[in-house]
Chains A and B, each alone.
Chain A
Amino acid sequence: MSDPFLQVKDLRVQFPTEDGVVSAVDGVDFAVAKNKVLAIVGESGSGKSVTSQAIMGLINRKTAKVTGEIRLDGEELLTARPEQVRSLRGKRMAMIFQDPLSSLHPFYSIGKQLVEAVNVHQDVSRSAAMQQARDMLDRVGIPNPDRRLKDYPHNLSGGMRQRVMIAMALLNNPELLIADEPTTALDVTVQAQIINLLRDLQREFGTAIILITHDLGVVADMADDVVVMYGGRVVERGSIDDIYYRPEMPYTWGLLGSVPRMDAGRNERLQPIPGQPPSLIRLPKGCVFRPRCAYHELVPGNRCDTERPDLLPVTPEHAVRCHLDPAQRREIAAERLGVATADPAMEDK
């Protein structure tokens, strides 16, 4: 693997509140290379969105404590001056959000908003900027781009707005694109169009993409590598095949068992994870997943209650945060995930 374009090390984000300190992100490490898609998977409160906001420099440092290291192409962002981060944002890194309506101004035409996005980073004339905007709308598959430039956000359908937002994010050819639940609000047929579009654009520009989602189908479709987050921590990290076919963390098993599969037998009962996600104020002392884990009794000496597990490598790419013995984990995984997700390496041979 080439040098990672983005490197996040021991990232921590804490919000002090009246009830105590919320540790939204609690020591997160990962890296993304150019031309790759890294998916960050997790449920509400897992810290996945806060992680992305921290990378983009969107967290108000007056109300939150952010520590660790975020390096974009070698440049440290957390200690950089705000103006410096602002000049990178939109140019070298850009973000698209779940809800395009909240990121498009209802009062200005699409054209005006896109031109502004160009002019923030490029010293070009208005007509040149408008031309760039037009070309980008065309590129993201919006019919009649000339007419659309004059439209306002409310004139467009949800899928079209999402495309406009993607166009806006891509205007300055960012090298890193963070997509936070980019298709969650969309219908499946539109989702398929948007995923296709992101893939085409990546092929063309070689963008590094961080895809934040809870949808394991979208992840399977797009990602090269996956980070699974729970309670603000990375609990498992690996290649897409590691996570889907050789998962070793009980939470990952739980996620995979919770998703109804269109390609499986209908009468298979779902295997949900019992209980609720943890409160980020009073995190358990040992493993964050311990209260919902069915296997903690297999670990001798109550270690899951008392000792925080480290993220330990299984292979150079695959790492797991769990006290269970590796052989034991593999045995349980084989039993839980059954034949449907048996090791594909075996079938390949």
Chain B
Amino acid sequence: MPIISISKLSKTYKSGFTALSNIDLAIERGEIFALLGPNGAGKSTLINIVCGIVTPSSGTVMVDGHDIAADYRAARRAIGLVPQELTTDAFETVLNTVSFSRGLFGLQPDPGHIEKILRALSLWDKRDSRLMTLSGGMKRRVLIAKALSHEPRVLFLDEPTAGVDVELRQDMWGLVRDLRQQGVTVILTTHYIEEAEEMADRIGVIRRGQIILVEEKAALMRKLGRKQLTLQLQAPITEIPPELSDYGLVLAGDGRELVYTYDTRAERTGITGLLTGLAAAGIRFNDLHTEQSSLEDIFVGLVREGEARA
């Protein structure tokens, strides 16, 4: 059974803006799911509905078998949320604010658990510091500590590494992997494609309030990935011979490189024909390499494709 089941979920705000339209989505237990989408696509609205912050217009959401409306207490106990904005109570100390969060979720104080979380997030030395004295990165860690204080089974990370430095980003990725090891399901929204590429097991793409694709990351890369073959020429050329015009070659590197883009899904990639054609045209090369298109390329392609259809 999926840990989160979303069925026919829609949200239309009072202004008339439809943020989500008939969403169906299942998140599997223990996976890292990345939700990608441009600004205003509905990522945060979707998360906020599951967490109880926004009221849905229609549809149902089950978290670990509990309906978020009818059995909201059990559903919410399972969830930890790290919001996008750095919203903290400026005058509170780190220890107090994390302990407060644990209490909100109905758990008795557990100083040992809080200490463990703060140490894991390198916050233990700052436990008595007021939040207003912390850097942006440290505040982000505090928000994660608050979300983990009640030992959630599902963790939502809404743009977790927005505005944080490279070191902290690496730390967070490590933390997310550790959480997954402990059986926590992680759902993250991100603008950083490399983040999804690095961490996610599955990827969902949302656009204009609709899920346009959900796929295993590796399968997505395989299925939609395009590859580029770059040939390093022995001697530069000024133009592509007309007999090779069908291959859509691009001349690069001041005429010293020929770039051929092909589809890995196609029955024939055309590489053999290209190489034969090059030999016939007297073009020799001394090196070659291939490059898989990144998730970012795939994402941009999907969104553009959707916009063109709309």
The answer to whether A and B belong to the same complex is no
